[in-house]
Amino acid sequence: MKQSVKNIKTPIPRIAAVHDLSGYGRASLTVAIPILSSMGMQVCPLPTAVLSSQTASIEDFSFFDLTAQMQEILENWENLDLFFDAVYSGFLGSPLQVDIVERLMDRLGKKEHIFLVDPVLGDDGKLYPTQTMELVQSMRRLVGKADIITPNFTEVCFLLDMPYEETITAKQAKEYLKALSHLGEKESKKKKSVLITSAPCEEENSLRVLAYDAENKRFWQTKSPKIPSAYPGTGDSFASVFLGALLQKDSLPMAMARAARFIYDVMLMTYGYGTPYIDGIMLEKALPGLSRKDIFLFEDF
C-alpha cells in the first residue's frame, strides 16, 4: 500500500535543504540542520555530496558526488507526495544537480513556498576548489528562479561576471543588488530579493550585509565590527538563520539583521576561545541565542 503524506497538516514548517555533508568543520548540513531545527523547523536534507571536511585551507579531503542518489531520493519524495514550505539550496557539486534542484522546486514546493538559493561558489575573489565556471553558468540560471539569493561578495562578482574589488561605494552596491535581482527575470517573470554577505564597507574596520527588497524597492544594510579571523560555514549559518527568521514571519530587513547579529556574536565567542579557524564557529554554544527576541539594528542606505 502506497504511503502518502499529502494531506497531513503540521504546524511545523518543512524545509528541503539541498547541501553537502561535511564531516569536519561545521559547515553546510552540519550547521543548517541544528540552526533550523532549533528555530522550530523540520529539515529534510537532500545531500549533494559527502566530504571528509570543509575545504577552506584543507588540501587533502575526500569528495563523494551524490548526484545519482539525489535523483533517487527526489523520486521517493515525489512518491510520498511531500511538499515543502521552503526549498533551500547551498553547495551544489555539478550542473546536473542544478537541474535536480529546479525539479524539486517545480514539483514539491508549496504554492506559497520560499525558494532560497545560497550560490556557494567561492570566497576571497576565487572559486572553491570543487567549483567550475560551468557550474557558475548553471548557477546563474538557478538564481534566476529563486525568490531570494544570499551570495557573498565573491559570488556576486562571479554571477555578474565582474572583477572582484576590495571596496565598493554605496552607489555600486545598489547597482549590484539591482543587477542580481534582474538575473533570469525574462524566464521566471519575477524579480528576486537579494542579500550580499561579507560586503566591502567604506568604514575600514567594519563589514556589512546588504539587502534589496525587490517587492518594495528598498535597500537595507546592517554593519558589524570586523573580527580578525574568518571561519568556514559562516555563510551557511547566516543563510540558515535568515531563512528560519523569514519562516517565523520576520520582515526581510529584520531577518537580515537577526542573522548578521547571530553570526557576529558566535564569531566573537569563537575568536575569544582561540580555536583553530578550520574547526568552524562554536555553534553549539550559540544556538540558545536564536530564541532571543531582541531588536536587531538595520538601516536604509
Q: Over the range 78-102, which residues count as b (16 or more CB within 10 Å of their CB) and which as e?
A: eeeebbbbbbbbbbbbbbebbebbb
pTM of the predicted model as reported, rounded to 2 decimal places: 0.94
pLDDT at 6: 66
- pLDDT tens digits for range 25-71: 999 999 999 999 999 999 999 999 999 999 888 889 999 999 999 99
Distance CA 189, CA 184 (A): 8
Task: From residue 75, give the alpha-carbon distance in Å to each of 5, 21, 92, 109.
Answer: 14, 20, 19, 14
pLDDT at 136: 96
pLDDT at 57: 86
Q: What angle do CA 176, 182, 185 make, to 5 degrees?
A: 165
pLDDT at 295: 66
pLDDT at 144: 93
Closest CA to 98 of 62, 158, 143, 35: 143
pLDDT at 242: 97
Spans in the chain with pLDDT lower than 50: none
- pLDDT tens digits for range 165-202: 888 888 999 999 999 999 987 777 777 999 999 888 77
